Structure 1
Amino acid sequence: MTQETIQKAMISSLKSGQVDNWDNLMWSVGSSDTPTSEDSVTAFSAANQLPWLLPTRRTSLLEYFSCPKVKDALSPELDNYLHELSLNKPNNRLGTYFERLWSFAFDKHPDYQLLYQNLPLRSGGKTLGELDFVVQHLPSNQCEHWEIAVKFYLQVTDIHWVGPGIKDRLDIKLARMADHQLPLIEMPAVQSMLKKHGLEIDRQWALMPGRLFKPLDTFRRPSSHDLWWVSLSEFRSFSLSQANRSALEWLALPKQAWLAPQSSTTGMTADQLLEALLPESFTHPLCIAAVDKNGEACRGFIVPDNWYQRAKSSLSI
Structure 2
Amino acid sequence: MAQETQPITTIPPSLHGRVDHWNNLLWSVGSADIPPGEASIAGIGAATKLPWLPSARRVELLEYFCRDRVKAALAPELQDYLHTLNRNKPNYRLGTYFERLWSFAFRQHPDYELRHQNLPLRKDGKTLGELDFVVQHLPSRRCEHWEIAVKFYLQVARHHWVGPGLKDRLDIKLARMADHQLPLIRTPGVQSLLRDHGLQIDRQWALMPGRLFKPLNTLQQLSNHPFWWAPLSEFRALCQDQPPFASHEWLPLPKRAWLAPQGHLAGISAERLVETLRSTGFTQPLCIAAIDSSGEACRGFIVPDDWHRRAEAGLPP
Gaps of 5+ in 1: none
What CA distance in whole angstroms lies between the structure 1 residues aligned with 2:171 and 2:300?
21
SS of the counterpart of 2:217? coil
User: 2:11 is matched with which residue?
Assistant: 13
Assess if the C-alpha contact under 8 Å between 2:43 and 2:175 holds in 1.
no
- The offset of 1:275, in angstroms, is 1.6
- State the aligned residue count: 312
Assess if the C-alpha contact under 8 Å between 1:118 and 1:130 holds in 2.
yes
Counterpart code for 2:93: R
- The offset of 1:271, in angstroms, is 1.1
* 2:117 counterpart of 1:117: yes
Counterpart code for 1:79: Q
What CA distance in whole angstroms lies between the structure 1 residues aligned with 2:234 and 2:22?
35
SS of the counterpart of 1:156? strand
SS of the counterpart of 1:40? coil
Q: How does 1:271-282 map to 2 (within 5 A)?
A: 271-278=271-278, 281-282=281-282
What CA distance in whole angstroms lies between the structure 2 residues aligned with 1:21 and 1:122?
34
Using the size of structure 2 for normalisation, the TM-score is: 0.94
Assess if the C-alpha contact under 8 Å between 1:41 and 1:47 holds in 2.
no
Tell me the alpha carbon deviations over residues 78-112 of structure 1, each in whole angstroms, 9 at most, x when there is no partner: 00000011100000000000000000000000000
What CA distance in whole angstroms lies between the structure 2 residues aligned with 1:92 and 1:272?
28
Tell me the alpha carbon deviations over residues 171-199 of structure 1, each in whole angstroms, 9 at most, x when there is no partner: 00000000000000011111001001100
User: 1:148 is matched with which residue?
Assistant: 148
What CA distance in whole angstroms lies between the structure 1 residues aligned with 2:60 and 2:7?
42
Assess if the C-alpha contact under 8 Å between 2:286 and 2:301 holds in 1.
yes
Assess if the C-alpha contact under 8 Å between 1:225 and 1:299 holds in 2.
no
SS of the counterpart of 1:98? helix
User: 2:44 is matched with which residue?
Assistant: 44
Counterpart code for 2:59: T
* 2:208 counterpart of 1:171: no
What CA distance in whole angstroms lies between the structure 2 residues aligned with 1:265 and 1:223?
20
Assess if the C-alpha contact under 8 Å between 1:225 and 1:297 holds in 2.
no
Identity between Structure 1 and Structure 2 (%): 64
User: 1:194 is matched with which residue?
Assistant: 194
What CA distance in whole angstroms lies between the structure 1 residues aligned with 2:285 and 2:242?
25
Pair 1:188–1:220, CA change in 2 (3 A):
closer
What CA distance in whole angstroms lies between the structure 2 residues aligned with 1:139 and 1:9?
45
User: 1:228 is matched with which residue?
Assistant: 228
What CA distance in whole angstroms lies between the structure 2 residues aligned with 1:219 and 1:116?
43
Assess if the C-alpha contact under 8 Å between 1:252 and 1:286 holds in 2.
yes
What CA distance in whole angstroms lies between the structure 2 residues aligned with 1:59 and 1:243?
36
SS of the counterpart of 1:116? strand
Pair 1:219–1:257, CA change in 2 (3 A):
closer
- The offset of 1:264, in angstroms, is 2.6
Assess if the C-alpha contact under 8 Å between 2:252 and 2:287 holds in 1.
yes
> RMSD between aligned alpha carbons?
1.9
What CA distance in whole angstroms lies between the structure 1 residues aligned with 2:225 and 2:63?
23
User: 1:267 is matched with which residue?
Assistant: 267
Counterpart code for 2:178: A
Counterpart code for 1:141: R
Counterpart code for 1:207: L
SS of the counterpart of 1:104? helix
- The offset of 1:243, in angstroms, is 3.5
User: 1:78 is matched with which residue?
Assistant: 78
Assess if the C-alpha contact under 8 Å between 2:43 and 2:174 holds in 1.
no
Using the size of structure 1 for normalisation, the TM-score is: 0.94
User: 2:212 is matched with which residue?
Assistant: 212
- The offset of 1:12, in angstroms, is 3.6
User: 1:307 is matched with which residue?
Assistant: 307
Pair 1:285–1:245, CA change in 2 (3 A):
closer
